[in-house]
């Protein structure tokens, strides 16, 4: 299979925060943001694999900044690394200042998707070649995050997590 680039999977979703999507402080409800990010990430994973994709894991979410009612929220999702059937998708979330139009980084998240066939069985996906410095940085760290996710899910023994062990050596 021919290698693709993270850019080829880039998916951008822009939407407003409406009153029904907020918490009692009038900020975007966390679960709503998770759902929006899941949708954007699944589109990126589909673009990379051109297969049916399912969410295997939410590896990391940082709700660093609250997102007020009425905000224009932009989610950018890109596949940061492709393994055999699984992909790491990196998400950056921005809010747009109403007056200046300036975009401020609000949150980021990392999801894992798996490409499957019509019966739900994992299938092989194309490799990925990162281009920019940031894409290369995310690509390099992705194997470590995959191993951590598998260890936490009880699918890998900590003693087999070579990348994690290397961190502490
Ligand atoms: C995701 C799913 C297809 C994985 O199936 P599985 O039987 O564990 O298959 P495998 O063990 O062969 O794993 C397939 C790939 O997923 C990866 N994977 C599985 N669980 C993972 C996790 N928790 N974190 C990171 N990667 C994971 C494996 O490492 C493997 O990657 P690779 O092929 O790139 O090396 C299966 O668990 C599933 O269908 N889950 C439900 C998905 C779903 O419905 N999501 C929506 C939730 S509402």
pLDDT tens per residue across span 17-63:
999 999 999 999 999 999 999 999 999 999 999 999 999 999 999 89
Q: Is the predicted pLDDT of residue 169 greater than 90, yes or no?
A: no
CATH architecture of the domain 6-129 equals Roll (3.10)
Mutate to test the pocket of ligand 1, among 41, 48, 122 (most ligand atoms within 8 A of CB): 122
pLDDT of residue 166: 84
Residue 29 near ligand 1, beta carbon < 6 Å? no
Which two three-digit tokens encode residue 26?
């009038």
Residue 86 near ligand 1, beta carbon < 6 Å? yes
pLDDT of residue 15: 97
Mutate to test the pocket of ligand 1, among 56, 89, 112, 124 (most ligand atoms within 8 A of CB): 56
Please tell me the pTM assigned to this model: 0.95
Residue 153 near ligand 1, beta carbon < 6 Å? yes
Q: Whose CA is nearest to atom 44 of ligand 1?
A: 54
Which two three-digit tokens encode residue 147?
């191993």
What is each CA distance from 55 to 45, 88, 119, 159, in whole angstroms? 10, 10, 15, 26
Coil, helix or strand at residue 71:
coil
pLDDT tens figures, 67-125:
999 999 999 999 999 999 999 999 999 999 888 999 999 999 999 999 999 999 999 99
pLDDT of residue 22: 97
pLDDT of residue 165: 85
Closest C-alpha among 81, 63, 60 to residue 73: 63
- Tell me how far the alpha carbon of residue 92 lies from the centroid of ligand 1, in angstroms: 23
Q: Is the predicted pLDDT of residue 127 greater than 90, yes or no?
A: yes
Rounded distance, CA 72 to CA 88, Å?
26
Q: Is the predicted pLDDT of residue 12 greater than 90, yes or no?
A: yes
Closest C-alpha among 90, 91, 62, 83 to residue 156: 83
- Tell me how far the alpha carbon of residue 144 lies from the centroid of ligand 1, in angstroms: 16
Q: Whose CA is nearest to atom 35 of ligand 1?
A: 84
pLDDT of residue 42: 98
* Domain residue ranges in the chain: 6-129
Which two three-digit tokens encode residue 29?
């409800």
């Amino acid at each position: 299979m021919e290698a693709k680039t993270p850019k080829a999977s880039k998916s951008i979703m822009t939407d407003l925060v409406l009153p029904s999507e907020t918490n009692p402080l009038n900020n975007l409800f966390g679960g709503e943001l998770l759902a929006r990010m899941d949708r954007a990430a699944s589109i990126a994973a589909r673009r990379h694999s051109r297969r049916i994709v399912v969410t295997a894991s939410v590896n990391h979410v940082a709700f660093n900044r609250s997102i007020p009612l009425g905000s224009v929220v932009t989610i950018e999702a890109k596949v940061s690394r492709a393994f055999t059937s699984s992909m790491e998708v990196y998400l950056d979330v921005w809010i747009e200042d109403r007056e200046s139009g300036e975009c401020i980084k609000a949150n980021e998240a990392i999801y894992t998707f798996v490409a499957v066939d019509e019966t739900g069985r994992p299938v092989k996906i194309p490799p990925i070649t990162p281009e920019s410095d940031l894409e290369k940085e995310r690509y390099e760290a992705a194997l470590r995050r995959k191993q951590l996710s598998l260890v936490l899910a009880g699918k890998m023994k900590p003693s087999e997590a070579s990348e994690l062990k290397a961190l502490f050596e």
